[in-house]
Amino acid sequence: MGLLWSMRPVPGSRIGLRLRKKEVHTPMVVHISVYSGHMSQGFREQVALASVVTERWYMAPGVRRVDITEGGVTGTLFLPPGPGPFPALLDLWGGGGGLVEYRSALLSSHGFVSLALEYMTPRTSGGSTSHVGNEYFEAAFTILKQHPQVCGDRIAILGLSFGTSVALGMAVYSTVIQPRCLVCVSGSHVQPVKGSLSDVFGEIKKNVRNTRYDEENRVIWRDLLLPIPTDPTKKVDVGQLKCPVLMIVGEDDQNWPATESAEDMKQMMEKAGNSHLLTTLSYPGAGHLIELPYSPHIRASNFIVAGTKQKLVVLWGGETAPHGHAQEDSWKKILSFLEEHLY
């Protein structure tokens, strides 16, 4: 699989490209060719010694994709084959916004109903650029809970980056959202207590002076939440968590202080007596975008800031081989964790 996770854009490509699957009902088609000697460019002018085409599917046979637009909620629901009922997940991506479906499609292929939720976009906030309120996530969770093919008491939340902030805040403070377990990838608990998304972003903007840039002028945001506050009103009281949590951390994360946040969460939960609920997977050499297994490592890519629409190149971090290992290892452990606590 190294041929896949080590892929990179061909020389001369536009800066900041990120390979992502948008249409999950069709496979990602990968052409693999072998040439004489070692080449880094000029492939089209050469004759390949051998070639093969492979298809990578995100939706297993029988998985159904359903557009969700009810109750003001926008997303895509993926249902495994069979009558169910099945355990379910609310799938939350990060601050880039938009509707990202490939993780939910693959989760459904492993036997879970999964709702890929769109948020932080004008379409989900009444046409404005303001962020959605907590009621939006509660409405999405309720849609899952009431679905006839879902086990209403077996629902998890999976969050990446800013999605982790939402997952932790909702799990602790919402009276509607009561997840069976949480999976938190490359995220943090640092946010105003019981705050909305707007409150969280307002707090981050106060530290915008801490933005750094590398030698290629790529944005490093990991300091925006540092140092981890000691003020209890500025972070989720994870000592109140009542469900198991799997924290996944890349130790070379240049976008979010995931390592420091995980350590502070551990200390808070030890003090509260619920640290037995926390499992942390920490990967040396891995960056922020810990995605599905065998996906190409993206060290930096284009990013459009929600609200301002400013376009930047953001440094996510990580080195190719250890990051590829982190994606493969963490995915297996995510599935085992979900099977343990949802099945």
The span from the CA of 139 to the CA of 120, in Å, is: 15
Instruction: Give the 3-state secondary structure of residue 49.
Output: coil
E strand segments, the chain: 28-34, 50-56, 64-68, 75-79, 86-92, 113-117, 150-160, 181-185, 212-213, 219-220, 245-250, 278-283, 300-304, 311-315
Strand 278-283 to 219-220 pairing:
unpaired
Q: Are 160 and 316 in contact (CB under 8 A)?
A: no
Cβ proximity of 225 and 190 under 8 Å? yes
Would residue 281 be called left, alpha or beta, if left means φ above 0 and alpha means ψ between -120 and 50 degrees?
beta
d(CA 104, CA 89): 8
Q: Whose CA is closest to 140, among 123, 154, 127, 124?
A: 124
Q: Where in the sequence numbering do the catalytic residues fall?
A: 161, 253, 288
Tokens of 114: 């999964």
Task: Give the side-chain half-sphere CA count within 13 A for 31.
Answer: 7
Show the beta-strand stretches assigned E in 80-227: 86-92, 113-117, 150-160, 181-185, 212-213, 219-220
- Interatomic CA distance for residues 235 and 267, integer angstroms: 13
Among residues 158, 177, 74, 146, the alpha carbon closest in space to that of 114 is found at 158
The angle at the Cα of 74, spanning 98 to 307, to the nearest 5 degrees, equals: 40
Would you state the structure tokens that stand for residue 289, as one six-digit string? 């975008």
